[in-house]
Amino acid sequence: MCNAVSIAFAVPVAVFEVSRVSGFVEVRYATGDETYLTFSGETENPAAGEVIFADAEGRAQGRGWTNRQSGLSAVRFDF
């Protein structure tokens, strides 16, 4: 649904599984110390100055105006 909204309005939309987010999410520039979990399970550190969606523990939940969703907080459906 969020991808459809993004396409329809040409605006990036971030969706996070809130149970996997610590405290809050803020859009800011990375310091380079944040962690980011890829969908393949690897941990990366966003480059200083990259736009990220960071939570209270310094984890990047989204990168590049949400075009890279974290594997940690991605919404998944268990069928």
Per DSSP, which regions of 30-79 are E strands? Answer: 36-37, 43-44, 51-55, 60-63, 68-69
Token pair belonging to 53: 């969606």
Instruction: Report pLDDT digits (tens) over 63-72.
Output: 887 666 666 6
**Of all helices (H) and strands (E), which one includes residue 7?**
helix 2-9
What's the pTM? Answer: 0.73
E strand residue ranges, the chain: 25-29, 36-37, 43-44, 51-55, 60-63, 68-69
pLDDT tens-digit series, residues 8-18 = 888 777 778 88
